[in-house]
Structure 1
Amino acid sequence: MHVTDERAEGSGTAELRRRKEEARRGPDPDGTRKQHAKGKLTARERIDLLMDEGTFHEIEPLRRHRATGFGLEARRPYTDGVITGWGAVHGRKVFVYAHDFRIFGGALGEAHAEKIHKLMDLAAAAGAPLVSLNDGAGARIQEGVTALAGYGGIFRRNVRNSGVIPQISVMLGPSAGGAAYSPALSDFVFMVRSTSQMFVTGPDVVQAVTGERVSHDDLGGADVHGATSGVAHFVHDDEESCLEDVRFLLSLLPANNRSVPEHYPSGDPADRRTEALRDLVPEDPGRAYDVRDVVAEIADEAEFLEVHATWATNVVCALVRLDGHVTGIVANQPLSMAGALDIHAAEKAARFVQMCDAFSIPIVTLVDVPGFLPGVDQEHHGIIRHGAKLLYAYCNATVPRVSVVLRKAYGGAYIVMDSRSVGADLAYAWPGNEIAVMGAEGAANVIFRREITQSDSPDETRARLVKEYKQELMHPYYGAERGLVDDVIEPAETRAVLIASLAMLRAKHADLPVRKHGNPPL
């Protein structure tokens, strides 16, 4: 009897190993070769690149669909086209699911969706980030409405987990129709040039309905979503560099909304003087410069991760470390539109501020803004509503917030860029700052229009009145004298002042009024 039990156990173990090997290998021996021929990695190769070596634990590898008809009863591969599990990234727990394009083209069916639902629930329960590696052909047509219901379950969990755990979508292949909405609901979207596309309706449908002929890449490729639509936060040339940046981003995020990003001791002195800022930022408020150089000078080891680098380039959003602590940076970019705020810039910055606030990341705002971009197009497309999104995000944020006016800050854009009046904990300014309703020239033309037009020497009169206006209402200490600027600091002190201020605010506690939720200007 003892021998029989041993044999039975041995036979069961062998069968288990056989089934798991089949699940790992996939049903189509040519599938891997076809995937590589497209310049794409397999789902398991991607997971290996994302996770720390040897840490991945797969769940439901033996899951199969139960659909019948339309040829599916003869094809019941293990995993059902999605690999799910958890592992570690830089030693920290991360959940991941990866579509396996070798199986049904990665299309989502009932069992496939249920695996994702379970993983998303586990990630929420464990309080750990969720990464989706997307490479699928959308809903599995053979399974009908159950496939669509599967997407609904994913979307509902995306929303429920929003602001609770970081959700990162990595687009490594096609994503069409309903499949595109889960990435849109996540915190960050990565795309790879040439191989990943996202669209609600594909090129064939577009041509049939509108007569327009467009390629997959021109309709929904990585560069389109990185620079035009703003759907993609990060765009890469290959999967390896893409997944490496996913790992880097995860190192900058907390596990969940109840924790803070991990602190790493920095070899960059907290009191390091930033002397280079004197030369990086011209005194003339009309001359452009690259504010990313300012961000690099302030950040630990000059390292930062820019979000939406090619979309709405008139504002820069980046994650940096200051004395080893993760900090969000929002900065006007004088190289693009002179740093003026427009619809896209306001939306980009608002989304970033909201993300930082959700995950306990302090916010530093570097201000050099001439105002909101004027124009009929901007007004007709809702600059008021979109600009209010940024205002709402800042006013609603309870994390430590520090702003620095580098040069100019005019009009409503000054208010919106985290001024003291909308709740910045501390507001600083450099010695050459100009904070006013508008520039001196414009102000003089409005206030002294009659005096200028009636003068025998209009140009001389205008120049005199502009000078007087600057001296009275726009001198660098006007805001400080009225308590709207906490201190005027030397540019070389900027890093040290920011680090000291954020250290003081680290234990900040602020409660919002009791409510179900606000009603932002979506």
Structure 2
Amino acid sequence: MTDTSTPTMQDRITELRQRQSRALEMGGEVGLAKHRASGRLPVRERVEMLIDEGSWFEIGALGLPELRTAKHVPGDAAVTGFATLDGRNIGVIGIDSSVLAGTTAPTSMRKQGRLIEIAQKNGYPIVLLCDADGGRIPDVMGWRFSHLPLDFKTFLKPTDGGPIVPRAAAVLGPSYGDSALHASTAHFVCMTRSSSLALVGPSIVEQATGEVLTDTDLGGPDKALAIGNAHMAVETEADAMNALAAFLSFLPANSNLPAPVAPARAPRTDPAELEHIVPLGKKSGYDMRRVIEAIADADSVLPWADEWGASLLTCLARLDGNPVGIIANQPVVKAGALDAHALSKELDFVDLCDTFNLPIIFLHDVPGLMVGSEAERSGILKVYEKLALRISTATVPKLGVVIRKAYGGGHFAMGGRPTHPDFLFAWPSAELGFMAPETGVRTIYRRKLEEEFERGGIAARDALAESLEVEWTAESEPWEAAAHLSIDDVIEPGQTRSKLIQALNFAWGERPRVSSSKG
């Protein structure tokens, strides 16, 4: 007789397949229907939309909550695994908000920590698909919260001195608690217009403070973009996946590798148009994006945090196929003056570029730093000091072009000579100095102008001011800067792209195209 009490291997395989099938259920028919009704895609569809077809390699699929109830929680509301994106390895964490609102518990946290540990150890990017309503009760109550398997040393970066890996996050729904923490670690955060991002959700805020808010009021894209919690907002989840792929295409798999080069493309705007795009009048506005379009390869520009510190543009782009980071003043916002938000954004962007081996191109048209009581209360002095040091210590090539003006501390914040640029050029229209001529004359020669007014009235004072401004302007023009080697050359606007391509080649030299400082 056959002993039917002992399971056979086929019985075990059948059980495995049943458990695997249940792990793919996510929120089940009811949970998925509710999730789709909110306009969101299930997590596994998000993963498939992101990665190369057929490349998914999942881990932790059979994970279950420590505290079991009658409700089945597949994967403990998290999907983790590895895949390729454009042929390169990535690690993926996707929060499954179709079950228990994607809330975090110890098992899901272990899964995520395991994924991060493996990706960091082996040196490839981590993609975070955020959509969760914070911690799960009662799984994180009392002593369990203190005992959560979250090690900030391994969660944030390798502990063995290994390379830093890029992190890119898509915020695809209400993202609080663990999902917000994920986004805060990312080098690039893209939000859908219907998503939100904050430390905790509206229900906790109301209980703690009495403030009644919607998800959008608390952390919608407009709020998150304005303070730098996110870098881009898009309409659809497909757009978000495309944005993540575009961002990662500029970066190496980790900080020990050179950034990937692509086929060169001519710029969308003929560089010869630059002399017409930028007006000579110092106070005339123009959109610096038009200048960038005439320098960078066509269709290669990826904005990074446009709405945070909007008087400064930061973007990834390609120059003759080579990936670069571009930092440029935006004259149509605050005349391009730099406030604390703009400087903080620049600090983060310089660190991103230097960490992942992207040369930095500075396009100067800056009247200076914002001054006054509000600027001081915003902490501009401290962030300016940190930025100047970070630019100075960056070891990727740093190239600068003074387009129209570069005054005072703003010039230094844009990679001026004291921060050790590899090459610094200027257009014939450039002015450099401590202050703009009209401001400087009225500040430095205030008493002399007052005395002239007392002697000869308004006309005499204005005539003196005009002559002093002419003298000041002559000192500010690029010819004296070139004569004294404060800049490396004065170039025609139409030569900007070709000069930068040549300068970039010589700035890298024969060394490996990898930064020696990892910030």
Q: Same fold (TM over 0.5)?
A: yes
Query: Residue in 2 aligned with 1:185?
Result: 185
Query: Residue in 1 aligned with 2:82?
Result: 86
Query: Residue in 2 aligned with 1:482?
Result: 484
Q: Aligned runs of 1:21-100 on 2, under 5 Å?
A: 21-26=21-26, 28-67=28-67, 72-100=68-96
Query: Residue in 2 aligned with 1:248?
Result: 246
**Count of residue correspondences:** 504
1:47 to 1:170, Cα distance in 2 relative to 1, 3 A = same
Q: 2:115 pairs with 116, 119, 122, which one? A: 119
- 1:394 to partner: Cα distance: 0.5
SS of residue paired to 1:368: strand
Distance 1:446 1:399 in 2: 38
- 1:64 to partner: Cα distance: 1.8
Query: Residue in 2 aligned with 1:262?
Result: 260
Are residues 1:467 and 2:465 paired? no
- 1:208 to partner: Cα distance: 4.5
SS of residue paired to 2:29: coil
1:48 to 1:215, Cα distance in 2 relative to 1, 3 A = same
Are residues 1:493 and 2:507 paired? no
SS of residue paired to 2:497: helix
Offset from partner CA, 1:61-87 (integer Å, 9 cap, x none): 1122232xxxx3433533111111111
Q: State the AA in 1 paired with 2:79.
A: I
Query: Residue in 2 aligned with 1:222?
Result: 221
| Counterpart contact for 2:117–2:154, Cα < 8 Å | no
Q: Percent of aligned pairs with the same residue?
A: 34
| Counterpart contact for 2:95–2:131, Cα < 8 Å | yes
SS of residue paired to 1:152: coil
Distance 1:232 1:27 in 2: 28
Q: Does 439-448 or 237-246 show the bigger shift?
A: 439-448
1:75 to 1:302, Cα distance in 2 relative to 1, 3 A = closer
Distance 1:149 1:413 in 2: 48
Q: State the AA in 2 paired with 1:41.
A: L
1:239 to 1:154, Cα distance in 2 relative to 1, 3 A = farther
- 1:25 to partner: Cα distance: 2.2
SS of residue paired to 1:136: strand
Q: State the AA in 1 paired with 2:55.
A: T
SS of residue paired to 2:390: helix
Q: State the AA in 2 paired with 1:342.
A: D
Distance 2:232 2:390 in 1: 22
1:345 to 1:189, Cα distance in 2 relative to 1, 3 A = same
- 1:402 to partner: Cα distance: 0.4
| Counterpart contact for 1:273–1:495, Cα < 8 Å | no
Q: Aligned runs of 1:399-410 on 2, under 5 Å?
A: 399-410=396-407
Distance 2:9 2:202 in 1: 55
Distance 1:59 1:414 in 2: 50
Offset from partner CA, 1:133-164 (integer Å, 9 cap, x none): 11112112222344565473267422448970
Q: State the AA in 1 paired with 2:414.
A: M
Offset from partner CA, 1:395-441 (integer Å, 9 cap, x none): 12111100110000011111221012211111011011100110111
Distance 1:512 1:339 in 2: 31
- 1:302 to partner: Cα distance: 4.5
Q: Aligned runs of 1:79-478 on 2, under 5 Å?
A: 79-144=75-140, 145-146=143-144, 149-150=147-148, 152-153=150-151, 156-160=154-158, 164-177=164-177, 179-194=179-194, 196-227=195-226, 229-268=227-266, 274-455=271-452, 456=456, 457-471=460-474, 473-478=475-480
Offset from partner CA, 1:183-209 (integer Å, 9 cap, x none): 212212121112x22222433444455
Give the structure-2-normalised TM-score: 0.91
Q: Does 280-289 or 156-165 show the bigger shift?
A: 156-165
Distance 1:25 1:350 in 2: 44
Q: State the AA in 1 paired with 2:26.
A: G
1:199 to 1:256, Cα distance in 2 relative to 1, 3 A = same
Q: Does 157-166 or 248-257 show the bigger shift?
A: 157-166
- 1:221 to partner: Cα distance: 1.0
1:94 to 1:141, Cα distance in 2 relative to 1, 3 A = same
Give the structure-1-normalised TM-score: 0.91
Offset from partner CA, 1:439-490 (integer Å, 9 cap, x none): 111222234334433332111121112112222x112212111211001111
- 1:240 to partner: Cα distance: 1.2
1:330 to 1:399, Cα distance in 2 relative to 1, 3 A = same
SS of residue paired to 1:191: strand
Moved over 6 A (4+): 509-513
1:58 to 1:208, Cα distance in 2 relative to 1, 3 A = closer
| Counterpart contact for 2:225–2:308, Cα < 8 Å | yes
Distance 1:411 1:180 in 2: 38
| Counterpart contact for 2:188–2:247, Cα < 8 Å | no
| Counterpart contact for 1:116–1:154, Cα < 8 Å | no
Offset from partner CA, 1:28-59 (integer Å, 9 cap, x none): 22222111100000010000111011111111
Q: Aligned runs of 1:492-511 on 2, under 5 Å?
A: 492-507=494-509
SS of residue paired to 2:472: helix
1:210 to 1:269, Cα distance in 2 relative to 1, 3 A = closer
1:506 to 1:357, Cα distance in 2 relative to 1, 3 A = same
Distance 2:383 2:238 in 1: 36
Q: Does 169-178 or 81-90 show the bigger shift?
A: 169-178
SS of residue paired to 1:225: helix
- 1:393 to partner: Cα distance: 1.9
Q: State the AA in 2 paired with 1:354.
A: D
| Counterpart contact for 2:133–2:177, Cα < 8 Å | no
SS of residue paired to 2:28: coil
- 1:506 to partner: Cα distance: 2.2
Q: State the AA in 2 paired with 1:482.
A: H
SS of residue paired to 1:141: coil
SS of residue paired to 2:387: helix
SS of residue paired to 1:120: helix
Distance 1:470 1:349 in 2: 29
Unmatched runs of 5 consecutive residues or more in structure 2:
none
| Counterpart contact for 1:84–1:116, Cα < 8 Å | yes
Distance 2:288 2:134 in 1: 41
SS of residue paired to 2:91: strand
1:463 to 1:345, Cα distance in 2 relative to 1, 3 A = same
SS of residue paired to 2:190: strand
RMSD (CA atoms): 2.5
Offset from partner CA, 1:315-335 (integer Å, 9 cap, x none): 000000111111000000001
